[in-house]
Amino acid sequence: VSTQSTGSSGINAEYGKQWYQRRVRGTKMAVCSNNSVIIWSMNSQQKWIKEDVGIELDKLKTVQRISWAHPEFGQVLAVSTLNEVSIWEYRSSDGGGQWFNRTTPPISEPRHLVIKDVRFSPSYSGMGRSRALDLAYCTDSGQLKILRCKDARLLKDWETVKEFSQCKDAFTCLAWNVTSTCSMIAVGTAESSAKGTV
């Protein structure tokens, strides 16, 4: 881990207007900027420490959205560009840890459509309370899809388990219900919002 530390203002100063999204999970924070995802850890003095190892994509790609999986699945991140989602896993070793690109789940939409948001499910996993690893994403064409990992230990094989394409407006964001009382996803558009039980 790097010795560089900073608060939230320092993170803003480092990235300026170039960072697109940041997601916090416990003492870990992921910040996406251009074609990379930088990982930060909070130390005992409540300072964010930038880790030496992050995620680098092809220079022609721009990271738009990121999402942490629940900690029970390890350190797993979903990283989306304009038209694809990739699943990354951090594995530690004696010589230091590394992020591995486990897979890029198939996206069936035409390549000109834009992925607007991507979110892993809460720990109870929504879909029938099966405790599977589910991932939802929405597009600017008004489509919402939920993918499920067939084997959360490997993170390689994913299948579509739910699909909605009934909205005439472009989706802009989505959010899972974070309680286990019901399985629900809310989606937002530029004009309104909608929600549906899954």
Least confident piece of the model among 52-66, 69-83, 127-141, 184-198: 184-198
pLDDT digits (tens, 9 = 90+) for 109-149: 656 788 999 999 987 654 444 568 999 999 988 889 999 99
158/126 Cα distance (integer angstroms): 16
DSSP class of 124? T
Least confident among 77-86, 104-113, 155-164, 168-177: 104-113
- Are 56 and 36 a contacting pair, CB within 8 Å? yes
pTM, entire model: 0.83
* CA neighbor of 176 nearest in space, from 132, 128, 150, 137: 137
Neighbours of 115 (CB within 10 A): 22
Per-residue pLDDT, 99: 96
Q: pLDDT tens, 79-98?
A: 999 889 999 999 988 878 89
Is there a contact between 100 and 89 (Cβ–Cβ < 8 Å)?
A: yes
Can you say whether residue 128 is alpha, beta or left, with left for phi > 0 and alpha for psi between -120 and 50 degrees? left
The residue-averaged pLDDT of 31-48 equals: 91
> Residues 167-196: what's their mean pLDDT?
78
